[in-house]
Structures are given as structure tokens and as C-alpha cells.
Amino acid sequence: MSVFLNWETSLADKTNRRDLIVDAAGKMFIERGYDSTSVRQIAEAVGCTEAALYYHFKDGKRALLQAVVEGNLPDLMSVLDHCRDATSLYELIKMYGHEIAKFGPARLLKMRWLIAEFPNFSDEERALFHAKHLRFHDALVALIEPFVESSAEAHELAWTIVCASFGYGHMFLSLDIQSVADFPPDVFIERLARGLAGGR
């Protein structure tokens, strides 16, 4: 039986095993660190052999890291799905802010792990994270473009929106500034939308 997962391996579990391996790897990366976690330890936590793990993840830990990054970071593309009906830049930023605010502390814990581990990643491992966020950035730019004069402005606004919301989350949730200062998410989102939209 796994320390992390309460299940027994059987042929019927084969279709779920990949998800279970990703879940265990994500938890172990957060608790122990990426470098300190071995493929063997992950396999033992899931209750499978290393060969079974490599069946699902031929590149071993690097492939697992990619799956963890893809599966455990906030699903940013789903945020944008909720913003597609915006009729103004102001409305788009407000929709985005309210969707991001739903992630809460649990998602930020996973982001904190990534920030702590990031300096130890290889160039290829960093590229996995960068690619995911550049895809999101490009999708956000596409939503902003109808409301601004140029693609360059849309790119700058997209980065500004992402950085501002990321900073708020870490200040008020990760560092618990909310316990000593009164600046609720709704007020932040409204200020951000009004400041960046400028009536658009």
C-alpha cells in the first residue's frame, strides 16, 4: 500500500495508473523536492514496478515533470474559456480576475513548489514550463486584441494582467497579507480593470 495513495494494483487499474503516477510524483516533488525524488520512490509510492512506470513515462522523471507541470499548475486555459464572451477590455479583465481568484491557496502551494525548484531545473525542464505559459499568454493576447489598437499593446497588457494577478495572489495568500491588511480580491480586480482598460 502506498504512503500517498490508498489503492491496490491490478490489471483493472491499468487505465488509471498513469494518473496515479502523476499524482504521486506531484506530491513527492512538492514534499521532497524534484532532485530528491527518484523514479524508484515514485513507483513504490504507487505500488508498481519501475518498468510499469517507464511504460507510461518512457523518459522517466523528465516526462513525469512535464505531466506534473501540465496537470498540477492552475488550468489557465480554462480561465480564458470563461472570458470569451467579454464585450470590453474592462469586462475581460474582471472576468479573468474573478476566475483566477477561484484557484485559492491549494493551487498557490503548487506554484510555490515550482518557484522553489525552478533554479534547479535543466534548460529542457525550464522549457516545459515556459512553453505552457507562452501558450497561455498567446491565447490571452488573442482575447485582448479586439479591444486595443495593436498586437504589441495586447502583448504588454497580457503580461501586465498576469503579473499583477500573480503578485496579488502571492502577497495576500502565500504571505497571508490578507490577515493584516484589508484589500479584498474584488477591490483589486476592479482597480486593475479600471486602471488598465481606460474606458475600453
Residue 17 phi, psi dihedral angles, 5° rounding:
-60, -40
Question: What pLDDT shows up at residue 180?
Answer: 95
Contacts of 110 (CB under 8 A, 6+ apart): 26, 30, 72, 73, 74
Q: Which fold has domain 11-70?
A: Arc Repressor Mutant, subunit A (1.10.10)
Each residue of 125-178: pLDDT tens digit?
Answer: 788 788 888 999 999 999 999 999 999 999 999 999 999 998 898 888 778 898
**What does the domain layout of the chain look like in residue ranges?**
11-70, 73-197
Place of cell 530528491: 36
Question: Residue 196 corresponds to which cell in the numbers above?
Answer: 488598465
> pTM value?
0.73
Show the low-confidence residues of the chain (pLDDT under 70).
1-15, 71-75, 104-110
Question: What pLDDT shows up at residue 76?
Answer: 76
Task: Provide the angle, in degrees to the nearest 10, between the axes of the packed helices 185-197 and 89-101.
Answer: 150
Question: What pLDDT shows up at residue 72?
Answer: 58
Question: What pLDDT shows up at residue 11?
Answer: 36
- Separation of CA 199 from chain center: 31
| Sign of the alpha-carbon dihedral angle for 167, 171, 175, 179 | negative
Q: Residue 136 and residue 188: Cα distance in Å, rounded?
A: 22
Question: What pLDDT shows up at residue 78?
Answer: 84
Question: What pLDDT shows up at residue 107?
Answer: 67
Residue 10 has a CB neighbour count (10 Å cut-off) of 8
Encoded amino acid at 96, one letter: Y
